[in-house]
């Protein structure tokens, strides 16, 4: 199904190529010294590509930075960086609303900015697709906005950035069951992105700024939220629901065996690893190490992995270079670069 190449398979393929080398000596000497053909070129669809409108940053009481100004662009800057990296399309996420404490303000801004994003998609239909912002501060309003964004604005799902900053509600809560039901019925994914945890939520992090960041605390915190979602039975109740995680799965693909060892404590129908392989997709955003991607392919299969550059935090060239350095079959590369995104987002 996934075409993944394990270490033994990779070494075997290398040995086979080496065994065929003597036959090449019978050919033209110039051909022997020729530069190998370039790798196959595939469409590239990035699925964690942030857009944060400046009005959201201001409403959160923060000062826009240089990165924030790039991230607020929906035209020349974004398209120029995509072209430089060879990225065909971005699935742009309308993000950062979970930092807002005023539910009414969050709802108003989400509606306005989802419309702006939808207009940008209409303007650049072959380059942009969009994921909505949801005012999860008010679960009922979030459901209404998801339905509107998908059915009226033709957006392809929604991104939610951690619930730690808003009323201590998590997506496994019964209050969010209607949101899962709505996403499943519309057949669109929800993308759960980390926030930096509130210091009151994880005492283990107190006094250690080196672990209070998105790279460690954010991954552990988001992965734990996903385990809560699985353990609460969301995917048993809504088996068609799909969840996307960035950063190669927030550590979860590398912990499947350990999770299943403790499966007796879970009150769900399947082993935890089954939900991670069936209901969850992961993206390559912000995790640029070939050995980690190789492990993810072998753990969950290439058909549940999506390419992403993590615009505007990361230079798109680096994301592509990392991906090209990772050994995999052409079939896996094409799935991850664009086929999986086209299937999941119905592009």
Active site residue 310: yes
In a domain, 1, yes or no: no
What is d(CA 163, CA 179) in angstroms, rounded to the nearest whole number?
Answer: 14
What's the confidence (pLDDT) of residue 86? Answer: 96
In a domain, 2, yes or no: no
Range of the domain at 330: 7-345
Q: What is the CATH number of the domain that holds 26?
A: 3.20.20.140
In a domain, 56, yes or no: yes
Least confident among 65-74, 142-151, 158-167, 295-304: 158-167
Task: Please report how many Cα atoms fall inside a 13 Å half-sphere around the Cα of residue 259, on the Cβ side.
Answer: 23
Closest C-alpha to 92, from 125, 65, 61: 125
Distances (CA, A) of 21 to 15, 39, 210, 293: 10, 20, 50, 30
What is d(CA 23, CA 31) in angstroms, rounded to the nearest whole number?
Answer: 12
What's the confidence (pLDDT) of residue 173? Answer: 92
103-145 pLDDT per residue, tens:
999 999 999 999 999 999 999 999 999 999 999 999 999 999 9
Rounded to two decimals, what is the model's pTM? Answer: 0.86
79 CB-contact burial (10 Å; exposed 0-12 / middle 13-18 / buried 19+): middle
What's the confidence (pLDDT) of residue 322? Answer: 92
Number of domains into which the chain is organized: 1
170-205 pLDDT per residue, tens:
899 999 999 999 999 999 999 999 887 666 666 667
What's the confidence (pLDDT) of residue 165? Answer: 55
Beta-carbon count within 10 A of 11 CB: 11
**Active-site choice (138, 164, 172, 310):** 310
Sorted by sequence, the CB contacts under 8 Å of residue 110 that are 6+ apart come out as 94, 97, 132, 133, 134, 135, 145
In a domain, 250, yes or no: yes
Per the rule left: phi > 0, alpha: psi between -120 and 50, beta: everything else, 308 is beta
Beta-carbon count within 10 A of 5 CB: 19
């Amino acid at each position: 199904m996934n075409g993944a190449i394990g270490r033994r398979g990779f070494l075997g393929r290398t040995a086979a190529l080496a065994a065929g080398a003597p036959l090449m000596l019978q050919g033209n000497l110039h051909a022997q010294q020729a530069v190998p053909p370039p790798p196959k070129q595939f469409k590239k669809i990035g699925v964690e590509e942030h857009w944060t409108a400046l009005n959201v940053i201001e409403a959160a009481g923060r000062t826009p930075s240089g990165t924030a100004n790039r991230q607020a662009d929906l035209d020349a800057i974004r398209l120029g960086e995509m072209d430089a990296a060879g990225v065909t399309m971005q699935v742009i996420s309308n993000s950062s609303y979970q930092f807002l404490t005023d539910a009414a303000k969050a709802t108003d801004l989400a509606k306005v900015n989802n419309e702006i994003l939808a207009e940008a998609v209409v303007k650049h239909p072959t380059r942009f697709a969009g994921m909505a912002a949801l005012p999860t501060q008010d679960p009922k309003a979030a459901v209404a906005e998801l339905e509107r964004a998908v059915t009226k604005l033709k957006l392809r799902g929604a991104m939610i950035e951690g619930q730690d900053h808003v009323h201590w509600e998590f997506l496994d809560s019964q209050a969010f069951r209607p949101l899962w039901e709505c996403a499943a019925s519309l057949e669109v994914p929800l993308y759960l992105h980390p926030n930096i945890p509130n210091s009151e939520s994880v005492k283990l992090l107190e006094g250690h700024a080196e672990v209070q960041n998105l790279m460690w605390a954010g991954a552990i915190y988001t992965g734990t939220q996903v385990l809560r979602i699985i353990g609460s039975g969301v995917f048993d109740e809504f088996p068609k629901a799909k969840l996307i995680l960035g950063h190669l799965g927030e550590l979860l693909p590398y912990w499947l065996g350990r999770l299943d060892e403790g499966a007796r404590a879970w009150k769900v129908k399947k082993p935890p690893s089954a939900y991670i392989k069936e209901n969850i997709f992961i993206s390559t955003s912000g995790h640029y190490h070939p050995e980690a991607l190789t492990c993810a392919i072998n753990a969950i299969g290439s058909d549940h992995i999506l390419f992403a550059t993590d615009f505007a935090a990361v230079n798109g060239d680096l994301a592509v270079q990392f991906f090209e350095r990772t050994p995999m079959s052409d079939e896996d590369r094409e799935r991850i670069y664009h086929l999986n995104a086209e299937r999941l987002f119905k592009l």
